[in-house]
Structure 1
Amino acid sequence: MGLYTITLPDVGEGIAEAELTEWQVAVGDEVAEDDVLGTVMTDKAAVEVPSTVAGKVVWLCGEPGDVIAIGDKFIQIEVEGDGNDTAAPAPAKAPEPKAAEPEETGTADADADQPAPRATGAETPATAKTPAAEPHRAGTTVRREPLAKGEKPLASPAVRRRAQDAGIDLRLVGGSGPAGRILHEDLDAYVEHGPVTGRGGARLPATGTREVKVVGMRRKIAEKMALSWSRIPHITIVEEIDVTALEELRAKLNAAHGAERGKLTVLPFVMRAIVNAVAAQPEMNARYDDDAGVIHQSDAVHIGIAAQTPAGLTVPVARHVEAASLWENAAELARLAEAARTGKATREELSGSTITITSLGPLGALATTPIINHPEVAIVGINKMTTRPMWDGEAFRPRKMMNISCSFDHRVIDGWDAAVFVQKLKTLLETPALMFVEE
């Protein structure tokens, strides 16, 4: 038997380190070639790291949330043959001498509150603990409610294979590992005590709390929002827009061309309106380097589209919107949204925007106060559309109304200029034909 070391591969040009966000395996698991070992994140792009060999996991480099340098040891696997790690494992660090302590009272679980140590590079395959051998830690919260349909339970490949062989639905198994991860002892408990629901499908009462470490996408979002809010003095303008004519045009275009070109949503029209508006006010289509005190105005319009994904909020970027048609922008939006939802968006697709659109769709409120996507200087928020009676000078008539909420960096955008920009968007969206007229 030999020891095979897999290092963290190059996950992008110019990337020196990545954050470990999730392990798909645990010490003691058997893995096959091409099995996913774990996931790392750089900027906002998540990358799965596959195994290049088959064998038994004996060492992991760290915990989710740790930052690992490219080329550093990522995982060690015991394989048939000699492996690739010829260096002898580092000797185990001798424990520091303890000060004299009072005589123990004989309590068997005196250290139960302490987390079980992770296997390190100093451990040999013979001494590395498997998940099945780890004791259940005191204070650990067990997930007691079944997962929703389609929700993927967290478990190692070995646990999944064992559950599959036993015909056990992992969604019904309570997980006592980090973030509700299902361990071997959880399967043992399931076999002995049954699923996490009571008799007749009644749910058991929820107990306890758990700590959720902020890692990966959620940490990136937290850092980005904190940076934007701490550095940028926001000014937000909310305007009411009559989109009845826009909706009539959209319906006609979809009826005439939707079958062969795809359906248009409101967003491609908003993108076209932004292109027209920033042509007159290029200071809105810019990025502010506040450290250098320089504003970079862009001729190209690269619009970020805030998109909600299972991992959190991402902002994929539609590039050169100024050179694209409505349907080209609609197709690009669909492609970027799918890439973001599946975690396949590249670093290039998640960076470089010059202005951003954020929308909650039908869940949106009457108004929002969007936070600027630093280092941009403006963001356009789309709120939900409703039909309301509006006075036209003669009578109240039903009109489709929608509010937009636009935030600006008040260090470089004055209130008057912000109001002019919002009124330009209002005019274009209320009279959509103007979007297609050359001035």
Structure 2
Amino acid sequence: MSVIDVKVPDIGDYKDVPIIEVHVKPGDRINPEDPIVTLESDKAAMEVPAPQAGEIAEVLVKVGDKVSEGSALVRLASEGGAKDREKETASATTAVEAEKPEATAADTPARTPAPAEKPTSESEAAGAPERVALPLGVDFGGVHASPSVRRLARELDIDLRTLKGSGEKGRITKDDVKRSLGGGAGTGAGIPEIPPQDFAKYGPIETQPLTRLRRLGGPHLHRAWLNIPHVTHTDEADITDLEAYRKSLDDAAKEKGYRVTLLSFIMKACVVALKEFPTFNASLAPDKENLILKRYYHLGIAVDTPDGLVVPVIRDVDRKGIVELSQELGVVSQKMRDGKIAPTDIQGGTFSISSLGGIGGTGFTPIINAPEVAILGVVRAQMRPKWDGDAFEPRLMLPLSLSYDHRVIDGAEAARFARRLAVILEDVRQLVL
């Protein structure tokens, strides 16, 4: 039996990050990857997982404490050998999973919430705060709530000063804000939950817990789908010539230990189109009356991992060439699949690409990665006959699915963006103009 201190691993440039949840207490038995605490900055939340199995001997922090990399969180009694402990501790240092921006564990839907009921008395009705337009930038001074809760309240026009917190020491949680809408925890703006069922009545079942990535990322996708009026526009690009050029580059790259992918060309093409259509490289301001145009091009690339979808951000795509992007994509994709996710890896994106080209399909509706306003979906290219005016000839056609926020972008603009993107991909010389 040995006792080790579990410390905050590398969390990027963040310092003095507040603890908003403590998930363990002395005497608890935990398994590897079980969450110990949840940290939250003004931009992201993250769980610190247990590096190995054992029993919590002592909790060294409490909710509200501020910690940085290397701060001790708990003392863990373990029977593992020294060699195993070194390996598992090193794994934990790189396994901190950041949630998608503004998503926290508190967003996780309740297991079996009761459908929202109509208030039966005036006193019950009075429990739901009146939703009024709040002053721009209101910070709810003196209210015990995390930055993400304050942000959510501002988005929903809920005055936190009218709510009673259910968290430790009266802290107001996201569930408290959601309950104030009348829909119960985990629902979307009052939308009732799907009634629970006893599936075992109909046959054998197995309950399998969601992976941590899906559990933490699910609320972010749910919120984006509920809050953004999604529209998906489809088009296709003739990439016959581009693919021939890509293969020539890829043949040379194989000898040097990397691959040149079609995705790197799509990223460069997106930057060209984004510069011509800056509305797609923007975010809607919190007041919903202004658009924040970004003069940098950080593209989120959806990566399929064994535990679920991760969207790392490739920065300054406009300043990198095809070869450099291909090499970086290979490194980043492997890092995500190994679970080595840091908060900074998934922050700051301006536009996202979700590619299913290695799997198949003919099109899909990708969910916008809020607070972005558009996302491009790509599936497998297919060889099809194309009429050239005199005869049909085989051409490699790449389907494109562009989802956009209809509050910011109208259909005609989306069609022009998608068509321009297709033209760029059809003529690789467009990338150097």
Q: State TM-score, norm by structure 2.
A: 0.59
Letter in 2 for 1:432: V
Letter in 1 for 2:55: V
Work out the CA distance in 2 between the residues paired with 1:60 and 1:68: 18
How far residue 228 of structure 1 moved from its aligned partner, in angstroms, is: 0.7
Report the counterpart of residue 242 of structure 1 in structure 2: 238
Distance 1:216 1:44, change over 3 A: farther
Distance 1:76 1:48, change over 3 A: closer
Work out the CA distance in 2 between the residues paired with 1:21 and 1:277: 46
Report the counterpart of residue 410 of structure 1 in structure 2: 406
1:358 equivalent to 2:360? Answer no
Report the counterpart of residue 343 of structure 1 in structure 2: 339
Deviations 1:123-172 (A, max 9, x none): xxxxxxxxxxxxxxxxxxxxxxxxxxxxxxxxxxxxxxxxxxxxxxxxxx
Whether contact under 8 Å (1:8, 1:70) holds in the other structure is no
SS of 1:260's partner is: coil
Distance 1:19 1:304, change over 3 A: farther
What is the 5 A alignment of 1:84-163?
none
Report the counterpart of residue 16 of structure 1 in structure 2: 18
Distance 1:326 1:409, change over 3 A: same
How far residue 278 of structure 1 moved from its aligned partner, in angstroms, is: 1.0
Whether contact under 8 Å (1:262, 1:327) holds in the other structure is no
How far residue 77 of structure 1 moved from its aligned partner, in angstroms, is: 2.7
Whether contact under 8 Å (1:387, 1:399) holds in the other structure is yes
1:300 equivalent to 2:300? Answer no
Work out the CA distance in 2 between the residues paired with 1:291 and 1:257: 48
Work out the CA distance in 2 between the residues paired with 1:235 and 1:68: 41
Distance 1:353 1:21, change over 3 A: farther
Name the % identity. 32
Whether contact under 8 Å (1:60, 1:76) holds in the other structure is yes
Deviations 1:33-72 (A, max 9, x none): xxx6745676586655447xxx9736698xxxxx997779
Which stretches of structure 1, 4 residues or longer, exceed 6 Å deviation after superposition? Answer: 18-22, 67-73
Letter in 2 for 1:217: L
Whether contact under 8 Å (2:279, 2:293) holds in the other structure is yes
Whether contact under 8 Å (2:253, 2:260) holds in the other structure is no
What is the 5 A alignment of 1:211-360?
211-214=207-210, 216-260=212-256, 262-290=258-286, 293-360=289-356
Letter in 2 for 1:224: H
What is the 5 A alignment of 1:346-425?
346-425=342-421
Whether contact under 8 Å (1:303, 1:356) holds in the other structure is yes
Letter in 2 for 1:218: R
User: Which range is displaced more, 304-313 or 68-77?
Assistant: 68-77
Work out the CA distance in 1 between the residues paired with 2:382 and 2:295: 35
Decide which structure has the larger Cα Rg and report it.
1
Deviations 1:201-230 (A, max 9, x none): xxxxxx843434446211222111111101
Deviations 1:303-341 (A, max 9, x none): 000111112111000000000000111111111111111
Distance 1:335 1:417, change over 3 A: same
How far residue 423 of structure 1 moved from its aligned partner, in angstroms, is: 0.9
Report the counterpart of residue 77 of structure 2 in structure 1: 77
Q: State TM-score, norm by structure 1.
A: 0.59
Letter in 1 for 2:371: P
Letter in 2 for 1:275: V
How far residue 74 of structure 1 moved from its aligned partner, in angstroms, is: 4.1
How far residue 75 of structure 1 moved from its aligned partner, in angstroms, is: 5.2
Letter in 2 for 1:9: V
Work out the CA distance in 1 between the residues paired with 2:35 and 2:241: 47
Distance 1:251 1:27, change over 3 A: closer
Work out the CA distance in 1 between the residues paired with 2:316 and 2:402: 21
Work out the CA distance in 1 between the residues paired with 2:34 and 2:404: 39
How far residue 17 of structure 1 moved from its aligned partner, in angstroms, is: 3.5
SS of 2:378's partner is: strand
What is the 5 A alignment of 1:423-438?
423-437=419-433
Work out the CA distance in 2 between the residues paired with 1:300 and 1:28: 43
Distance 1:10 1:362, change over 3 A: closer
Q: Could you list the runs of 5+ residues in structure 1 that have no partner in the other structure?
A: 30-35, 62-66, 80-206
Distance 1:78 1:367, change over 3 A: closer
Task: Count residues in correspondence.
Answer: 294
Q: Could you list the runs of 5+ residues in structure 2 that have no partner in the other structure?
A: 80-202
Distance 1:8 1:16, change over 3 A: farther
SS of 1:222's partner is: helix
SS of 1:296's partner is: strand
SS of 2:207's partner is: coil
How far residue 20 of structure 1 moved from its aligned partner, in angstroms, is: 8.5
Residue 55 of structure 2, aligned match among 54, 57, 68: 57
